[in-house]
Structure 1
Amino acid sequence: MINWGFPDFDDHEGVHLFTDPASGMRAVIAVHSTTLGPAAGGVRFWHYGSEERAITDALRLSRGMSFKNAMAGLELGGGKGVVLAANPGETITEDQLKAFGRVVESLGGRYVTAEDVGMSEARMKTIAGETRYVSGLPVASGAAGGDPGPYTALGIYLGVKAAAQRALGATDMRGVRVAVQGVGSVGGGLAKLLAADGAVLTLADVDEGRAQRLAGELGATAVAAEGILGVEADIVSPNALGAILTEGSIAGLQAKVVAGGANNQLATRNDGHRIHERGILYAPDYVINAGGIINVGLEYLGHGDEAEVKARIAHIPDRLTEVWNESDASGDPASEVADRIARRLIGR
């Protein structure tokens, strides 16, 4: 039951459950806040195993989008959509995409959707055939918008460099050991940028072949996905799914920095304290991974072009530094400080 006592409800403005019997679509759209503007956040297609897990993911991701958009200085609130896959590895159908577009339209602009896990530019175009409230569509060269992945990777890259300078005293990435978990669109893009700078990379992905191929291309090392968080490295960069920083995995970290693009990396609030207590510099995920939403957000708002997108992404290290400075001054974990700043920005 969705109510005020649901563990991750956090005063959401609305949580909407949808079904479309004709296509078999089942979806959750969570609207956390519209204080700064329409609730913007991607839609993911995923097999959760239970409705409760899907709802929890939508709630956590929606809140994260509120904080991310606020910290990125966008005139957008936070929301998230999830479409439930009936079976692992299933592909979303065209009819399900259209059905999701119709339910987005039914919310009248309170929620603006975009590309996330299990989606693509082509699939967003299908959704856009049913609703005006969609971003991340193919655009002309030089315009804001399109695939958010490369822009997310760029922001994470800049954040990783800022973290390396702060925690390691590194003036560049040459020789810095980075363990990258997840080498899809975002993690793979990050790995390529770091490799060009001379970083020493260890890669892992649930698709072992993909990790091995990229490792061969970049002169990196590939390891099994289950071992990547515990490898000996200067920086661990989680870029797959969330809730991977747990009491156990944090105890096994051999890095001085955790800085990556996966959403909701901390399994629980206490895990932010555990990282802090170990003296590990943590880059809050929704601060470092804001590049993608900056791109599609400016596309939707009609503010600026690709140059403006990149100029705003260039400020991600500044926001991280603000968080780290306040963390040092207050003694509070960076995860708590980031939440506090974001809540101030959205008036909560």
Structure 2
Amino acid sequence: MTVFSQMAAAGHEQVCHVADADTGLRAIVAVHSTALGPGLGGVRIREYADEQAALVDVLRLSEAMSYKAACAGLRCGGAKAVVLGPFPRDREAAMHALGRAVDGLSGRYVATEDMGMTEADIALLNEVTPHAVGRSLEAGGSGDPSPHTADGVIAGMRASLRAAGRAVDFQDLRVAVQGCGNVGLGVIERLLAAGATVIASDISQQARERAAGAGAQIVDNDRIHAESADIFAPCGIGAILNAGSIAELGCAIVAGGANNQLAEAEDGERLAARGIVYAPDFVINAGGLINVSDELDSEGYNAERVRFRVASIESTLDEVFAQASAQGETTERVAMAMAKTRIEAGSR
């Protein structure tokens, strides 16, 4: 498929390839939709197998950001950037090069943190462009978005328990968390504080040690999805739910913070066929986006407003689950239809 045909498949508005000869920076920026506002999404630094793999990832991620923003009721669209690793050694110069590329899009793309990025990197982008959010609290920004993502995941788990006919209480629940990065660890800490038993996994030894130190039991990362648990929470890489892994799931609910959890569209149907309650990822993991998007408000960042909007993820999922049950449809399709309706209304 050509780049144009891949863009047309999901309705992307713009794709930009960035190459900086001085630093060796290679990046791709994808703007999916600006119908509701500027395309907002993180910069992901990752070593990809090839350029096509990077393009596929940035297209999928930017599309998901549009749906995430729409379901959260935000006045922004969806976009994403990926930097093909390894990142250049001169980080400051490379971030400035990326910032200039972002600035060249004249506000159609607003960058923020994702995998491999820090608040310090956002500060470097801000030295050459105003179109980057996620600054530190000390600099008047919204700070680390991961606690807000974790709060949203917990709120989504409550709605998922209700949809599964369970008591909305984490006491004595067994939850399997795959991925113990900042979001995953935050979810683990909140679950343990609420009385749940947590098993966890990660490919990183350091992350595993942090999770164990918090009180989680560490298990095999490749098999955690098959562990017997009330809830499976993917909080690491995407596409973890596929035909093979879904057949092996040992849970009643899938509710986690990872992006693009379904490997393909049919996986939503596979989950439903097994009677597993699935919280669509672009709804449940919107807390971080809600947090950074608040920097775009004309009145400035408001922490109380962010807490309210993150808490509302629970009621949004209640609505998704109710519609899915009434229509006999998968939660993924219901949430997607909800997002597309809001985006189309914005276009009009």
Distance between the aligned counterparts of 2:90 and 2:227, measured in 1? 35
Distance between the aligned counterparts of 1:92 and 1:253, measured in 2? 44
Contact 1:205/1:225 (<8 A) preserved: yes
Residue type at the aligned position of 1:96: A
| Selected match of 1:122 from 93, 97, 120 | 120
| Selected match of 1:250 from 246, 249, 266 | 246
1:277 paired to 2:273: yes
Which is worse superposed, 237-246 or 78-87?
Answer: 78-87
| Selected match of 2:101 from 100, 103, 126 | 103
- The residue that corresponds to 2:45 in the other structure is 45
1:260 paired to 2:256: yes
| Selected match of 2:229 from 217, 229, 233 | 233
Contact 2:180/2:202 (<8 A) preserved: yes
Contact 1:44/1:82 (<8 A) preserved: yes
Residue type at the aligned position of 2:128: E
Residue type at the aligned position of 1:327: A
- Kindly state the Cα deviation for residue 92 of structure 1 after the two structures are TM-superposed: 7.6
- The residue that corresponds to 1:33 in the other structure is 33
- The residue that corresponds to 2:336 in the other structure is 339
User: TM-score, structure 1 length as denominator?
Assistant: 0.95
Residue type at the aligned position of 2:100: R
Distance between the aligned counterparts of 1:7 and 1:278, measured in 2? 33
Distance between the aligned counterparts of 2:89 and 2:178, measured in 1? 23
Distance between the aligned counterparts of 1:166 and 1:133, measured in 2? 39
Contact 1:243/1:266 (<8 A) preserved: yes
- The residue that corresponds to 1:22 in the other structure is 22
Could you report, residue by residue, the CA deviation over 1:180-211 in whole angstroms, capped at 9, with x for unpaired residues? 00011100001101100000100101113422
- The residue that corresponds to 1:158 in the other structure is 155
Contact 1:144/1:295 (<8 A) preserved: no
| Selected match of 2:170 from 162, 170, 173 | 173
1:193 paired to 2:183: no
Distance between the aligned counterparts of 2:62 and 2:146, measured in 1? 19
State how 1:40-79 maps to structure 2 within 5 Å: 40-79=40-79
**What residue ranges of structure 2 are gaps of 5+ in the alignment?**
none
Could you report, residue by residue, the CA deviation over 1:193-246 in whole angstroms, capped at 9, with x for unpaired residues? 11000001001011134224422332x210121111111101000000101101
- Kindly state the Cα deviation for residue 162 of structure 1 after the two structures are TM-superposed: 2.0
SS of residue matched to 1:180: strand
Could you report, residue by residue, the CA deviation over 1:237-291 in whole angstroms, capped at 9, with x for unpaired residues? 0000101101000000010000001000000001111111111000000100111
Could you report, residue by residue, the CA deviation over 1:42-87 in whole angstroms, capped at 9, with x for unpaired residues? 1110011110110111000100010000111111011001111048
Identical-residue share of aligned pairs (%): 43
Contact 2:68/2:282 (<8 A) preserved: yes
Structure 1 pair 8–261 and aligned structure 2 pair: CA distance change class (3 A): farther
Residue type at the aligned position of 1:79: A
Structure 1 pair 339–192 and aligned structure 2 pair: CA distance change class (3 A): same
- Kindly state the Cα deviation for residue 170 of structure 1 after the two structures are TM-superposed: 1.9
Number of residue-to-residue matches in the alignment = 344
Distance between the aligned counterparts of 2:251 and 2:124, measured in 1? 43
Q: Give the RMSD, CA atoms, in angstroms.
A: 1.8
User: TM-score, structure 2 length as denominator?
Assistant: 0.95
Residue type at the aligned position of 2:67: F
- The residue that corresponds to 2:220 in the other structure is 224
Residue type at the aligned position of 1:252: E
SS of residue matched to 2:112: coil
State how 1:311-330 maps to structure 2 within 5 Å: 311-330=308-327
Distance between the aligned counterparts of 2:116 and 2:298, measured in 1? 26
- Kindly state the Cα deviation for residue 166 of structure 1 after the two structures are TM-superposed: 2.6
Structure 1 pair 132–144 and aligned structure 2 pair: CA distance change class (3 A): closer
Distance between the aligned counterparts of 2:106 and 2:243, measured in 1? 42
Distance between the aligned counterparts of 1:275 and 1:338, measured in 2? 15
Contact 2:7/2:59 (<8 A) preserved: no
Contact 1:8/1:60 (<8 A) preserved: no
- Kindly state the Cα deviation for residue 140 of structure 1 after the two structures are TM-superposed: 4.4
Residue type at the aligned position of 2:25: M
Distance between the aligned counterparts of 1:69 and 1:226, measured in 2? 31
Contact 2:133/2:141 (<8 A) preserved: no
- Kindly state the Cα deviation for residue 4 of structure 1 after the two structures are TM-superposed: 4.1
